[in-house]
Structure 1
Amino acid sequence: MAYQKLQEMLDAAMTQASEESSMLLGQPMSVQPSDVLNTDRKSYLGGMDDALYVVGVESREAYPGHFYLIFALADSIVMSSILLGIPPARIQEKRRLCIQEPDDTDAFGEIANQIIGSFNSIFQPKLPQKVHLKLLPPQKYVPEVDELTDELPFPEGGYLMFRAPLEIAGQEMNRVDIMVPHALAELFDPQPVEEAAPQEEVAAEEAQEGAPEEGGEPQPAKTVLVLAADEGERRTIMGHLGACGLELIDAPLMADVSALCAASDVRAAVISLRQTADPDLAICDKVVPLVGKGGGSVLLCAPQWTRTSLMKAMKAGARGILMHPFTAEELQSKLGKVLSPF
């Protein structure tokens, strides 16, 4: 199937985003696997009656370009209203009338930041070269009200559209359409030239696939930094990850993280906190940039999370949250989302 790798990355990113949004919103949210269609802007917007909320994403480094996450404006209002703690009856009214207030814009910005963080944590380890995805200011588009330009609500041209249904318990939701221009899709997931190859050549290529180069060095294990003030907590986390084939570094919270990251290719950090107040979360200011240089991500663990502390953790750059106590399987599953399979 064409662009299967890209579809798998997008589905994995939206799945992770929905899991983390569930914690952020305080109620279950899910995104179903996507269907893929070829389309262009004229066809997509033709006959469109629903107001849209378009989240632009800039792809940088080795994969330059832009793609777009398109939500129904009503869906974005539902998500922002839940985050703001608005009563259900008022949410339904706002959805029906498409009432987007300034607080909604700010709240959905927090959700969109978390979504793009999930995309980065999936794309960076999966692509062979460096990539960084940056959130652009979302654009509201109401048919027959807002002006349609060459660039707004998204540029003219052909797109691969990955359409995935959205679900939130107790709410009427639509879908998210991820619009990827063909040129950027080809960068993310180059497609083979359609040529008929002799069967012997195909068999030889398959036999050589994955074979190490002669005299080549074995690939080093991925390094995970484990930080906690309590030595017992560090031992527990190390034990949960001990059989995963990872290189583990055990260090206290006050360790010289810069030196540890300089000495090893740290692909993730698991940080165990006793509390989630601002002084505790401040460790993200130190660890996230250092681990993120190599495309790594930070997971935070704590005995208790509130909606406010979750939002602050995501804003500080954490890409995953766990609540003590957790099982080895839960930790491995969360870490597996930001690393290649164990």
Structure 2
Amino acid sequence: MEGFATLTSVVDNAFKQAAEDSGMLLGQELTIGEADRIATNRQTYFCDMDDLCFVAEITSSGEFAGKFYTVIGLRDAICMSGYLLGIPPARINEKRRLAIMEDDDVDAFSEIVNQVVGSFNSIFQPAFTNKVHLKVAPPQKFIPETTEITETEPVPDSEYLLFRGRMEMAGQEMGYLDLLIPAPLAELFDPPEVVEEEPAAVAVESDAESEAAPGADDGADESDVTAGEEAAVTVSQAASSRKVLILEDDDGDRQLLREFLASRGYEPIEAGLDADIREILATGGVRLVVLGIHNGDDRDMAVCIKIKSLTQEEALPIIMCAREWTRSAVLKAVKYGARDIIVKPYQPEDVAAKVEKFLRAA
């Protein structure tokens, strides 16, 4: 299939980022291979399906408005949710074999899908100069030959571009991560090249027009160059910003993080959990938050929710840190906006790897 080279590259990068982020969340190395791109339609795609799966609707808002869909096999969903919940591998394999997915598994998988689309956002937004924002709805189960196919379910009847990446995880036989993008939306993301026809004849300018044109062009060029230089400076400043906001009540932990991040060339800004976060963010340039919490109670989660509400358009990554993480605490942290977690006491190399990962993707 010709065209869509830009969109394919973005999807490949999004798959790679989603694998890295999800692998850290699950505590298991996960990779997603480069996507195969296939032209298909709803009937062909779902009629060829012979196993249960989950379909999640992703809404793209902004200048590239529309909906597309990610599809993951049920057994892969059971596997990933099991690792997030800390279920022993032997039990995960048994649940996969018997296709057992309990309520906790469904909740955990929903948070994994949120994480995946958050990773997509971190790639799509800079690739399309912040003209797109992605938001995902809870995944729905599709059972071949059982689930009713309607005008809009499980996806609208349309022509699609299918991007398919193979998932791999040590010790597990994994399937594919599929992305179904309607053809009209794909063309918004990556418009087909327009070949302009050469004019049949070139008009000959009069002497008066020839004399007047350079002066007018010079003025326009000077204005354009000035505007371009200003835009370049703004973009350069934003790209070079390495500000990291540290929100931590423990003075020793806060000092440790500040000194370590500064030694790595970051610009740490520090405050306690009760600080005026709106005022801090209003200074601009913050690209990531390291949030040190106590025990995952409502006060801690309220801080995370506040950060997310103040930075909706920026999709500011939050790394949440605590001395102990239970299964429910991890789910709650991801649900309320954390992109990753760290177990205290802080290990410098662990902090560096996670901070750099998100700043590199931003």
Q: Do these two structures clear the TM 0.5 threshold for a shared fold by scoring above it?
A: yes
Which is further off, 109-118 or 21-30?
21-30
Matched, 1:239 2:224: no
Paired residue secondary structure (1:165): strand
Q: Deviations over 1:148-198 (max 9, x none)?
A: 222222111111111000112211111111000111112222332144789
Paired residue secondary structure (1:36): strand
In structure 2, the residue matched to 1:203 is none
How far off its partner does 1:258 sit?
0.9
Cα distance in 1, alignment partners of residues 27 and 198 from structure 2? 53
Contact 1:54 1:68 in 2 (8 A): yes
- Letter in structure 2 aligned against 1:150: E
Which is further off, 308-317 or 68-77?
308-317
1:296-335 superposed matches below 5 A? 296-300=316-320, 307-322=327-342, 324-327=346-349, 330-331=353-354, 333-335=356-358
1:5-24 superposed matches below 5 A? 5-24=6-25
Contact 1:55 1:68 in 2 (8 A): yes
Contact 2:80 2:109 in 1 (8 A): yes
Cα distance in 1, alignment partners of residues 101 and 189 from structure 2? 34
- CA gap of 1:177–1:321, structure 2 versus 1, over 3 A, is same
Q: Deviations over 1:85-132 (max 9, x none)?
A: 444344333323323333322221121121122222222233224432
- CA gap of 1:196–1:306, structure 2 versus 1, over 3 A, is farther
Cα distance in 2, alignment partners of residues 157 and 177 from structure 1? 16
Q: Which has the larger radius of gyration?
A: 2
Cα distance in 1, alignment partners of residues 127 and 307 from structure 2? 22
Cα distance in 1, alignment partners of residues 296 and 138 from structure 2? 29
Q: Which among 269, 280, 285 is matched to residue 250 of structure 1? A: 269
- CA gap of 1:42–1:273, structure 2 versus 1, over 3 A, is same
Contact 1:52 1:70 in 2 (8 A): yes
In structure 2, the residue matched to 1:259 is 279
- Letter in structure 1 aligned against 2:134: L
In structure 2, the residue matched to 1:221 is 237
* TM-score normalised to structure 1 length: 0.81
Cα distance in 1, alignment partners of residues 198 and 102 from structure 2? 58
Which is further off, 219-228 or 153-162?
219-228
Contact 1:52 1:141 in 2 (8 A): yes
- Letter in structure 1 aligned against 2:255: E
Q: Which runs of 5+ in 2 are unaligned?
A: 200-222, 249-253
- Letter in structure 2 aligned against 1:221: Q
Paired residue secondary structure (1:92): helix
Cα distance in 1, alignment partners of residues 286 and 95 from structure 2? 42
- CA gap of 1:269–1:320, structure 2 versus 1, over 3 A, is same
1:74-85 superposed matches below 5 A? 74-85=75-86
1:276-287 superposed matches below 5 A? 277-278=296-297, 279-287=299-307
Which is further off, 107-116 or 87-96?
87-96
Paired residue secondary structure (2:79): helix
- Letter in structure 2 aligned against 1:325: Q
Q: Aligned pairs, how many?
A: 320
How far off its partner does 1:316 sit?
1.9
In structure 2, the residue matched to 1:293 is 313
Q: Which has the higher helix share?
A: 2
Structure 1 runs of 4+ off > 6 angstroms?
Answer: none
Cα distance in 2, alignment partners of residues 267 and 131 from structure 1? 20
Cα distance in 2, alignment partners of residues 240 and 71 from structure 1? 38
In structure 2, the residue matched to 1:164 is 165
Cα distance in 2, alignment partners of residues 185 and 43 from structure 1? 19
Which is further off, 301-310 or 20-29?
301-310
Q: Deviations over 1:261-308 (max 9, x none)?
A: 2232x3522325275533445431232222333343333456765554
Contact 1:228 1:273 in 2 (8 A): yes
Q: Which among 267, 273, 289 is matched to residue 270 of structure 1? A: 289
How far off its partner does 1:331 sit?
4.8
Q: Which runs of 5+ in 1 are unaligned?
A: 199-211, 243-247
In structure 2, the residue matched to 1:146 is 147
RMSD of aligned residue pairs (Cα, Å): 2.9
Cα distance in 1, alignment partners of residues 192 and 66 from structure 2? 18
Cα distance in 1, alignment partners of residues 129 and 33 from structure 2? 27
Which is further off, 153-162 or 187-196?
187-196
- CA gap of 1:234–1:60, structure 2 versus 1, over 3 A, is same
Cα distance in 2, alignment partners of residues 13 and 276 from structure 1? 32
* TM-score normalised to structure 2 length: 0.77
Which is further off, 223-232 or 320-329?
320-329
Paired residue secondary structure (2:348): coil
- CA gap of 1:196–1:82, structure 2 versus 1, over 3 A, is farther
Paired residue secondary structure (1:132): strand
- Letter in structure 1 aligned against 2:288: A
Contact 1:41 1:156 in 2 (8 A): yes
